[in-house]
């Protein structure tokens, strides 16, 4: 049987109250009814949380004092403390947030011509172990609650409020493997997508996975209209297993089958992320092999110049080689783009800021 939000919450230590940002609108309605309140108050609470964006229950002035006290008794409102906030020359903003238990997570705001995009974290650390990634260096500490993911968007929106701007899109591409924290991630999606709340359109949300195959099937069955990306990074099983140990459990041919199931089920195109790692997967023959792999797949390929991670010894592919790689794919009719880099001067790539902090802590 599917575990409900409240049962997940009661499993937690009693001393830690759940975040109100973890509650979907319908869950809030049921909770209110159970506590002798009218369910329409849920819409008012959503309005205070996501439209007026207050930071204390007592500011929710159209609720009775009793209800405000009841909420404060059962939930916390502020779950993230801003430890570091940096702005890059290109406008990218990076936040390091401290959680109630002292762990830190990163969130990045990217400025694009089409709007403001927030990259959220779903786990403290990661257990997937990709050999090029900074997020996985210390292993997985714990999953985030839906509300801790929602609060990242709210915090960034509050920073944007100062400029009268709005978060227009969300990418679930920060630290962690979202499909390894699947239920909380789905709750997060429902909360930020709700039109009584932040109202971020499904087509403005992207989730990326390293390829947890059973969850891809489950995700496909949800038939959401959100954008779906898969970290592919290799044209064949041998190279993928070298870069991403998860490929030993969830092999490339099965991954491609699951992706095809997703496409058939949703009718949507997928994105493949392909990091170019010098001498490993960036040769012309790899581009040819990649073109064959995705030949009949409704997809788009995002080429990512590798972000240098001091603990990892991968080298960057020279620019001309990246263009040659792209050209091979284009000539073979594959939709492909090279990812624009942002926030270099503030360690905005996945896990870099947090990795740096961790190192300073252990010094
Ligand atoms: N765990 C999910 C979400 C992370 S998304 C996933 O793996 O898809 C972040 C993207 O950046 C992933 O495609 C990841 O593989 C990629 N990435 C991580 N470290 C990188 C590095 N050093 N250089 C380039 N891309 C990297």
Secondary structure of 287-339 in HEC code, one letter for each residue: HHHHHHHCCCCCEEEEEEECCCCCCCCCCCCCHHHHHHHHHHHHHCCCCEEEC
- What are the φ/ψ torsions at residue 141 (nearest 5 degrees)? -95, -50
Could you write out the DSSP letters of every residue in 225-292?
A: -SEEEEE---SSHHHHHHH-THHHHS-HHHHHHHHHHHHHHH---EEEEEEE-TTTT-SHHHHHHHHH
User: Ligand 1 mean position to 103 CA, how many Å?
Assistant: 21
**CA neighbours within 13 Å on the CB side: how many for 304?**
18
Q: What is the pLDDT of residue 15?
A: 60
- Do residues 201 and 297 share a domain? yes
> Which stretch of DSSP H or E encloses residue 207?
strand 205-209
Per-residue pLDDT band at 79 (split at 50, 70, 90): confident
**287 located within any domain:** yes
Active-site residue identified among 119, 148, 326, 350: 350
User: How does pLDDT run across 183-211, given as a tens digit for each residue?
Assistant: 999 999 999 999 999 999 999 999 999 99
- Do residues 148 and 28 share a domain? no
- Do residues 231 and 262 share a domain? yes
Nearest CA-CA partner of 202 in 169, 176, 242, 233: 169
List the binding residues.
126, 130, 133, 176-177, 208, 231-233, 307
138-153: average pLDDT: 97
Report the sign of the C-alpha dihedral through residues 190, 196, 200, 201, in that order. Answer: positive
Tell me, using a 6 A CB cutoff, whether residue 350 lines ligand 1.
yes
When divided into structural domains, the chain yields a total of: 2
**363 located within any domain:** no
Q: Domain ends where: 74, 98, 123?
A: 74
**Residue 345 pLDDT exceeds 70:** no
User: Ligand 1 mean position to 129 CA, how many Å?
Assistant: 11
Q: Domain ends where: 74, 103, 125?
A: 74
**5 located within any domain:** no
In degrees, rounded to 5, the angle at the alpha carbon of residue 206 between the alpha carbons of residues 146 and 165 is 80
In degrees, rounded to 5, the angle at the alpha carbon of residue 285 between the alpha carbons of residues 284 and 286 is 90
Identify the residue whose C-alpha is closest to ligand 1 atom 15: 231
In a mutational test of the pocket of ligand 1, which residue from 232, 350, 353, 354 has the highest number of ligand atoms less than 8 Å from its CB?
350
Which residues of 77-204 form beta strands (DSSP E)?
81-87, 93-98, 104-112, 115-119, 123-125, 140-143, 167-172
CA 202 to mean position of chain CA atoms: 14
**362 located within any domain:** no
Mean pLDDT lowest for which of 107-116, 201-210, 279-288?
A: 107-116
**285 located within any domain:** yes
Identify the residue whose C-alpha is closest to ligand 1 atom 10: 173
Nearest CA-CA partner of 92 in 354, 351, 307, 346: 346
Establish whether 106 is a catalytic residue. yes
Q: Domain ends where: 74, 93, 110?
A: 74
User: Ligand 1 mean position to 116 CA, how many Å?
Assistant: 20
Per-residue pLDDT band at 311 (split at 50, 70, 90): confident
- Do residues 96 and 58 share a domain? no
On whether the CB atoms of residues 77 and 56 are closer than 8 A, the answer is yes
Q: What is the pLDDT of residue 342?
A: 63
Q: Copy the structure tokens of residue 32.
A: 């209110």
- Do residues 48 and 85 share a domain? no
> In whole numbers, what is the pLDDT of the chain averaged over residues?
91
- What are the φ/ψ torsions at residue 194 (nearest 5 degrees)? -60, 135
Residues spanned by the domain of 52: 10-74
| Domain CATH for 308 | 3.20.20.70
Establish whether 119 is a catalytic residue. no
| Domain CATH for 32 | 1.10.150.530
- Do residues 336 and 237 share a domain? yes
Q: What is the pLDDT of residue 5?
A: 52
User: How does pLDDT run across 5-50, given as a tens digit for each residue?
Assistant: 544 444 444 468 999 999 999 999 999 999 999 999 999 999 999 9
CA distance 347 to 354: 9
Identify the residue whose C-alpha is closest to ligand 1 atom 14: 231
- Do residues 45 and 166 share a domain? no
- Do residues 57 and 87 share a domain? no
Q: Which residue in the block uniquely carries the two structure tokens 């794919």?
A: 329
Tell me, using a 6 A CB cutoff, whether residue 123 lines ligand 1.
no
Q: How many CB atoms lie within 10 A of CB 143?
A: 19
95-99: average pLDDT: 97
Tell me, using a 6 A CB cutoff, whether residue 299 lines ligand 1.
no
Bridge partners for 109 per DSSP: 93, 118
Active-site residue identified among 24, 37, 106, 145: 106
Could you write out the DSSP letters of every residue in 142-176?
A: EEPPHHHHHHHHHHHHHHHHTTT--EEEEEE-SSS
Q: Which residue in the block uniquely carries the two structure tokens 């050209």?
A: 327
User: Ligand 1 mean position to 53 CA, how many Å?
Assistant: 31
Tell me, using a 6 A CB cutoff, whether residue 173 lines ligand 1.
yes
CA distance 46 to 44: 5
**352 located within any domain:** yes
List the binding residues for [4Fe-4S] cluster.
126, 130, 133
The alpha carbon torsion through 318, 107, 299, 183 (nearest 10 deg) reads 140
If one compares 5 and 339, the residue with the highest pLDDT of the two is 339
If one compares 223 and 182, the residue with the highest pLDDT of the two is 182
User: Model's pTM, two decimal places?
Assistant: 0.92
Identify the residue whose C-alpha is closest to ligand 1 atom 9: 173
User: Ligand 1 mean position to 350 CA, how many Å?
Assistant: 7
**230 located within any domain:** yes
Atom of ligand 1 nearest to the CA of 176: 1
- Do residues 139 and 208 share a domain? yes
Identify the residue whose C-alpha is closest to ligand 1 atom 19: 133
**2 located within any domain:** no
Tell me, using a 6 A CB cutoff, whether residue 307 lines ligand 1.
yes
Q: What is the pLDDT of residue 7?
A: 45
Per-residue pLDDT band at 362 (split at 50, 70, 90): very low
- Do residues 170 and 153 share a domain? yes
- Do residues 70 and 88 share a domain? no
Contacts of 125 (CB under 8 A, 6+ apart): 135, 136, 138, 139, 140, 141, 175, 176
- Do residues 86 and 210 share a domain? yes
């Amino acid at each position: 049987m599917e575990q409900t939000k409240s049962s997940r919450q009661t499993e937690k230590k009693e001393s830690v109250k759940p975040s109100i940002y973890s509650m979907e609108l319908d869950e809030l309605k049921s909770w209110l009814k159970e506590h002798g309140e009218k369910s329409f108050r849920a819409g008012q609470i959503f309005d205070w949380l996501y439209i007026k964006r207050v930071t204390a229950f007592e500011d929710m002035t159209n609720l009775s004092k009793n209800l405000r006290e009841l909420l404060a008794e059962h939930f916390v409102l502020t779950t993230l403390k801003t430890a570091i906030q940096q702005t890059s020359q290109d406008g990218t903003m990076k936040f390091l947030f401290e959680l109630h238990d002292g762990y830190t997570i990163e969130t990045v705001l990217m400025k694009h011509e089409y709007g403001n995009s927030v990259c959220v974290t779903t786990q403290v650390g990661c257990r997937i172990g990709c050999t090029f990634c900074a997020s996985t260096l210390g292993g997985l500490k714990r999953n985030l609650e839906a509300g801790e993911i929602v609060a990242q968007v709210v915090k960034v929106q509050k920073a944007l409020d100062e400029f009268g701007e709005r978060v227009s899109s969300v990418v679930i591409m920060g630290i962690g493997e979202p499909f390894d924290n699947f239920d909380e991630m789905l709750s997060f999606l429902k909360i930020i997508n709700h039109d009584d709340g932040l109202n971020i359109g499904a087509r403005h949300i992207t989730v990326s996975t390293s390829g947890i195959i059973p969850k891809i099937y489950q995700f496909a069955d949800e038939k959401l209209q959100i954008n779906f990306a898969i970290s592919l990074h290799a044209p064949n099983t041998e190279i993928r297993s070298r870069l991403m140990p998860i490929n030993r459990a969830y092999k490339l041919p099965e991954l491609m089958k699951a992706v095809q199931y997703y496409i058939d089920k949703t009718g949507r195109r997928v994105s493949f992320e392909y990091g170019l790692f010098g001498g490993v997967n960036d040769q012309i023959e790899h581009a040819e092999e990649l073109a064959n792999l995705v030949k009949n797949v409704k997809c788009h390929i995002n080429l990512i110049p590798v972000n240098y991670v001091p603990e990892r010894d991968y080298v960057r592919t020279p620019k001309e080689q990246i263009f040659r790689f792209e050209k091979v794919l284009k000539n073979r009719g594959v939709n492909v783009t090279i990812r624009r880099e942002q926030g270099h001067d503030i360690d905005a790539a996945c896990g870099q800021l947090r990795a740096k902090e961790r190192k300073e802590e252990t010094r």
